[in-house]
Structure 1
Amino acid sequence: MHSTTPTLNSLFAQLGLDSSDQDISRFIHQHKLAAGMAIQDAPFWNSAQASFLRESLKQDADWCEVIDELNALLH
């Protein structure tokens, strides 16, 4: 259980990605989702990352809000 609300930085760390503000900005500029593509189906995730996103959204986990934020930034 998380004691704080997840952030983009903590989501990137959870996904095993570089999680500084600069790294996140670079990632967002380098990766875009096609209209209508679900974030968990993006081709740039490895299978573990996609599975984490899919399960978090399915379980309406604490991560959902920040995953939705990332989804908006990638569209």
Structure 2
Amino acid sequence: MDNAFHHFSELFAQLGLPADEQGIREFLAAHSPLAPEIALADAPFWTPAQASLLREEILEDADWAEVVDQLNAALRVPA
């Protein structure tokens, strides 16, 4: 496992989303708050490929897991 630290913007780029500060803010504003009973990867706004990436990174405790957890926390806060 690569112990690299990944930035929020890199995760957004991996997900095929706008990765600039404005794009990230807009995404979080549009999709927050995510209901507590919905797992991050099960949120209705992900494509199947995005959901799969998020699920795999957490299940494998991959080097992306920390930033995926940060995204999960950010989506739980009301915009």
Give me the TM-score of the superposition, normalised by structure 1: 0.92
The residue that corresponds to 2:71 in the other structure is 70
Q: Which has the higher contact order (CA 8 A, sep 6+)?
A: 2
- Consecutive unaligned residues of structure 2, counting only runs of 5 or more, are none
The residue that corresponds to 1:27 in the other structure is 27
AA of the residue aligned to 2:22:
Q
CA contact (8 A) 2:10 2:19 kept: yes
The residue that corresponds to 2:42 in the other structure is 41
Quote the Cα distance in structure 1 between the aligned partners of 2:26 and 2:69.
18
Give me the TM-score of the superposition, normalised by structure 2: 0.88
AA of the residue aligned to 1:58:
L
Query: Moved runs in structure 1, 4+ residues, more than 2 A?
Result: 1-4
Count of aligned positions: 75
Cα RMSD (Å): 1.5
Identity of aligned residues (%): 51
Quote the Cα distance in structure 2 between the aligned partners of 1:68 and 1:3.
16
Quote the Cα distance in structure 2 between the aligned partners of 1:4 and 1:35.
29
